Amino acid sequence: MAAAGKFEQALRAFARIVGAEHVTHAAEALYEYADAMAPRDPASYAPRGAVAPASVEEVQAIVRLAGEHGVPLWPISRGKNFGYGGSAPRIPDIITLDLIRMNRILEVNVEHGYALLEPGVGFDDLFEYLTANKIPLWMSAPAHTWGSVVGNALERGVGYTPYGEHASKICGLEVVTGTGELLRTGMGALAGSKTWQAFPYGFGPAWDTAFMQSNFGIVTKMGLWLMPEPENTVSLSMALEKAEELPAAIDALRPLKLDGTVQANPSFGNVIRTLATRATRSEYYQGTGPIPADVLEKARIKAGVGHWNFAVRLFGDRKINAINADKVKAAFRGKVSAEFQQSEWNRGEPLRNSGSPMPSLGALGVVDWLGGKGGHLTFSPVSPFSGAEAWKQYTLIRGMFEDAGFDYYGGFTAGQRYLNHITMILFDRSQPDMLERANKLFPQLISTAAKNGWGEYRTHVLWYDEVAGSYDYNHGAMRRWNEAVKDAVDPKGVIAPGKMGIWPKAYRKDRA
């Protein structure tokens, strides 16, 4: 109870800064800030309260007070990191620092192609702002657009335009440190700099990447490069009827990504990923365990989709796209049995089907695959950009999903030199047996992947330690380095203890 009192005292102190209406106490935080897709009792890792500041100065004051009260803070931008924990913290004895009220688009520079954003700005907000003001710049967005532009980029989220590797388009951060100080990275370290959002490195060590997927500071502003609206886009979509054609398609794509012919990130999604957007599993199969191969094949044929479905989208000048489209078609010809379906968009036409992200939450619908109370866990190992290696990873992971009684839901999203293999364990949160199997499967996936040389690019809050532990070169030298930095820059361990398996000294006993 003494601990509970400490958190309540801190919340009262925070209320004096932000106003009582912007503080959430323990009873409500238990469900308002819980993991909406939780694979176990969400209350077991919900926070003790939340505070929602509206300014950088309020964030600084809260951080200082948190240090004085000995309570840690879990910063969230909009809390829509579904499948990875959503708004939930790593440990329950913590106050969530909810940055959703800091939702200003501070600047969009049309000539130089960037935006300066606060963490509460959602993809929907940025889209509406750009289109309402007829700004000829496109954002990139992940599958659903409810989340934070800043939060997604900091978590290294992925989109589907040439700017789809979001973390690589960050240029300049403003950060509140664990002691409440304010700093700006890159050229922003020079007061009055004219190139904060233009030159990403600054002078001396560059720290932008150190504030991504980390707990070294709280990002309160972020520069992001935006893509000039292209003159034309060409979509080349393909449905591969046989699962075994995946390696040939990946090997055909690799040189096109490597030499820049294809700049966006095509995603090879499996048949379940496509079917789950259309109906629940019971429409196709009423039995238990994974859908048998013959049943799935009949469902696939009936739906008129491939076992793998993907689109190569080209963005740029019309004439260049035409040349590159021919190059893409030639690269796949004879390697796979299917043909590309081609469509085109030209500037001035409605944006739908242009390749520009549109506000959509449709991707969330897949969690209804099993009906009931849908939930999911996302397992995301990185694969070499090789058909043979991707096939090995796919067959191994699919086998583990199916041995655990789950349908394999997944896809490979192509970076320039790697594949993000994003899979989801879809479950019904009202079925304890299913949750137990999901919780058992997930760490097995992590360890099996590591034994094969594959690490995750991102993971759920409940398994930060397991994934961090798998990055074990030289007996975990990277983790020791991260924790040495953490202890130096945040000596009281105020910011997000345990985030990405980085534990400050005071909380190291909590490591799993």
* Residue of 362, 399, 432, 453 that binds another protein (CB under 8 A): 362
User: Tokens 């009202």 label which residue?
Assistant: 430
Which listed residue (33, 48, 78, 84) is catalytic?
Answer: 84
481 binds another protein (CB under 8 A): no
Q: From the CA atom positions of the chain, what is the Rg in Å?
A: 23
Among 17, 34, 250, 305, binds another protein (CB under 8 A): 34
Which amino acid, residue 192?
Answer: G
| Side chain identity, residue 231 | E
Q: Which of 408, 457, 464, 507 is catalytic?
A: 457
Q: Which C-beta is closer to another protein: that of 121 or that of 222?
A: 121
**Contact call for residue 487 and another protein (CB under 8 A):** no
Identified binder of another protein from the candidate list 6, 26, 56, 129, rule CB under 8 A: 129
User: Binding another protein by CB under 8 A: which of 10, 11, 17, 33?
Assistant: 33
Residue 105 to residue 400: CA distance in whole angstroms: 44
Round to whole Å and give the CA distance between 451 and 165.
27
Task: Specify whether 16 is catalytic.
Answer: no
Binder among 72, 79, 147, 387 for another protein (CB under 8 A): 79
- 32 in contact with another protein (CB under 8 A): yes
**458 included as an active-site residue:** yes
CA distance 302 to 305: 8
- Residues 143-182 touching another protein, rule: CB under 8 A, are 146
> Which of 173, 367, 397, 495 contacts another protein by CB under 8 A?
367
Which 3-state string (H, E, C) describes 444-468? HHHHHHHHCCCCECCCCHHHHHHHH
Q: How many residues does the chain have?
A: 512
Nearer to another protein, 234 or 424 (CB): 424
Please check whether residue 420 is in contact with residue 382, taking contact to mean a CB–CB distance below 8 angstroms. yes
Interface with another protein by CB under 8 A: which range of 65-73, 75-83, 218-226, 417-425? 75-83
CA distances (Å), 343 to each of 236, 269, 310, 312, in order? 7, 19, 14, 11
Could you tell me which stretch among 7-15, 31-39, 233-241, 322-330 binds another protein (CB under 8 A)? 31-39
- Smallest distance from another protein to CB 489, Å: 27
Helix (H, G, I), strand (E, B) or coil at 403: helix
Q: Would you state the structure tokens that stand for residue 181, as one six-digit string? A: 């100080």
DSSP string, 60-105: HHHHHHHHHHT--EEEESSS--TTTTTT--SSSSSEEEE-TT---E
Q: Does 229 help bind another protein (rule: CB under 8 A)?
A: no
Torsion of CA 188, 193, 197, 203, to 10 degrees: -60
Give the residue numbers annotated as catalytic, written as ranges.
Answer: 84, 457-458
Residues of the shown chain interacting with another protein in the complex, contacts defined by CB under 8 A: 21-22, 24, 28, 31-34, 36-37, 50, 52, 78-80, 82, 86-87, 98, 100-101, 103-108, 121, 124-125, 128-129, 132-133, 135, 146, 279-280, 359-362, 364-365, 367-368, 371-374
